[in-house]
Amino acid sequence: MIIASFFSDLGSFFSSLGDVHLTPLLLGAVLFVAYLSMRALAFRNILQDAYPGTPVPFKQIWGAYLAAYGFNNVIPARGGDVLKVYLVKTSIPGSTYPTIGAALLVEAIFDLCAGALAVTVALIAGVFPKPPSWVSLNSVDLSFVAEDGKRSLFLVTALAVLVLVVFSLVALRVRTFWAKVRQGFAVLRDRRRYLKRVWAMQGIGWLIRGTAFFFLLKAFSMPASVENVLFVLSANAVAAIFPFTPGGAGVVQALLVELLKGTATTAAIAAYGVGQQAVIALLSLAVGFVALVFVFNIRSFREVIERGRADREASRAAERAEKEGRAARDISGEEDTATVGPNGPGIVGDHERRAGGPAPNATDDWLDDVAASGPVGSVSRATPPAARPPATAAVDDWLAEEVAPDRAREERREARAKWRRRQRR
């Protein structure tokens, strides 16, 4: 039934192509690109506050935003957002995926509020269908949700638990994960700055989007009014919540038939729903592909995947090199001999002693050539090893017992701590 209804709407669209007005159609298309540009500017401002010391180029963010929007209209489950996150990361030096993901959540705050307002207006007008009646609508997404409330609740709960589990695993694996996530919410710490640089830009974008829908209604000979524009915005807001189909296709058309009922024939409304979806999908896909080619020098989606894999491998290699460098510095610091000071005597690595490495320094001579001439507590920590009185033989025996050959660095640090505690007694 749903498939038959879709092809019926598609047939109505093709049959009404001759009645489409070209001028308002072009105006609506241009305004929709302007709307996406304003959203890209707001997203760029969010990222700039997350990385205040790093330049965030608007051209690259604009290209990534439009390319992602275009692919979202042909790939289900908002797959284009993965492309956007990758392109943004490659455009900002030193950026991370958790921070960019958090910036996407900041961007969604306005969408949630504006979409809720549009749906509320439709509900007050009494034209927005109640969720239980979604079963009768010709939309797979809405019918699946409304058919069984318990199943929908289970899916939402399972998704929330899955997200929490993934976040917990990542947080345990990477210590700085949550710090990077908080970095993406940096713009929210200054309310006035957020309202001026993000909320206002998105608000202007929504006004431009509403104007674009006004001209698209005119292009398909539909009654163009502020009320109908709000109905169209509410339909698109609900479609964004169920991104199982590319661009919310099916959801928008099913809701528009109910929302615009009485303003035109069902065939005309169906033709408008399919036509609007087709215009936006083709336009955003074309502009997005142009952005990929001229901004990022990418000519195929396969090339994006290959670049993403190469970038991921390079990041992993850099992380491994950094860890190995830190480990090498720690080992060399532990194996270097140190003079006696506030932290007690230094310890030469046992493998160096066996391999004939560097000779022991003054501290080792002082410990090796011990003589029973005074208690440990009488040794002054401020006195250099060569000028100090020799320690008792018990110190040498204690160190020999605590610091055995081939012990780990942790055991050596513990031995030093024990030596210092005994010296304080």
Q: Are residues 91 and 224 in the same domain?
A: yes
Q: Does pLDDT of 154 surpass 70?
A: no
pLDDT at 147: 53
**What percentage of the chain has pLDDT greater than the value 90?**
27
pLDDT at 356: 46
Q: Does pLDDT of 144 surpass 70?
A: no
Q: Under a CB-based contact definition with an 8 Å cutoff, are residues 140 and 245 in contact? A: yes
Domain boundary among 312, 347, 375: 312
Q: Are residues 362 and 302 in the same domain?
A: no
Q: Are residues 340 and 252 in the same domain?
A: no
DSSP symbol at 79 = T
* Candidate from 25-39, 246-260, 392-406, 407-421 with smallest mean pLDDT: 392-406
Distance of alpha carbon 115 from alpha carbon 279, whole angstroms: 22
Counting every residue written for the chain, the total comes to 425
Q: Are residues 304 and 358 in the same domain?
A: no
Q: Are residues 247 and 377 in the same domain?
A: no
Q: Does 131 fall in a domain?
A: yes
Q: Does 239 fall in a domain?
A: yes
Q: Are residues 85 and 226 in the same domain?
A: yes
In angstroms, how far apart are the furthest CA atoms of the chain?
110
Residue 90's alpha-carbon distances to 183, 209, 238, 308, in angstroms, are 18, 29, 32, 9
Q: Are residues 340 and 280 in the same domain?
A: no
Q: Are residues 280 and 343 in the same domain?
A: no
Q: Are residues 77 and 38 in the same domain?
A: yes
Q: Are residues 282 and 187 in the same domain?
A: yes
pLDDT at 306: 80
* Candidate from 13-22, 38-47, 393-402 with smallest mean pLDDT: 393-402
Distance of alpha carbon 367 from alpha carbon 393, whole angstroms: 9
Q: Does 325 fall in a domain?
A: no
Confidence of residue 83 (pLDDT cuts 50, 70, 90): confident
348 φ, ψ to 5°?
Answer: -85, 140
Q: Does 319 fall in a domain?
A: no
Please spell the DSSP secondary structure of 212-245, one letter per residue: HHHHHHHHTT----HHHHHHHHHHHHHHHH-TTS
Confidence of residue 379 (pLDDT cuts 50, 70, 90): very low
Q: Does pLDDT of 150 surpass 90?
A: no
Give the closest residue to 208 by CA, choosing from 37, 18, 360. 37
Helix count and strand count (H, E) for the chain: 18, 0
For the beta carbon of residue 119, count every other beta carbon within 10 angstroms: 19
Q: Does 401 fall in a domain?
A: yes
Domain boundary among 312, 344, 375: 312
Q: Are residues 99 and 19 in the same domain?
A: yes
DSSP symbol at 195 = I
Q: What is the mean pLDDT of the chain?
A: 75
The amino acid that residue 135 corresponds to is V
Q: Does 320 fall in a domain?
A: no
Distance of alpha carbon 286 from alpha carbon 288, whole angstroms: 5
Q: Is the dihedral of CA 406, 408, 413, 415 positive or negative?
A: negative
Residue 330's alpha-carbon distances to 168, 333, 410, 412, in angstroms, are 29, 5, 11, 13
What is the tens place of the pLDDT at every residue in 311-362? 777 777 877 787 777 777 766 665 554 444 444 444 444 444 444 444 444 4
Q: Is the dihedral of CA 171, 174, 179, 180 positive or negative?
A: negative
- Torsion on CA atoms 408, 414, 419, 425, rounded to nearest 10: -170
Q: Does 330 fall in a domain?
A: no
Question: How many domains are contained in the chain?
Answer: 2
Domain membership of residue 383 as a residue range: 336-424
Residue 48's alpha-carbon distances to 42, 82, 111, 186, 267, in angstroms, are 10, 20, 20, 9, 47
Q: Are residues 282 and 391 in the same domain?
A: no
For the whole model, what pTM was predicted? 0.67
Q: Does 331 fall in a domain?
A: no
The first and second tokens of residue 302, run together, are 């396969």
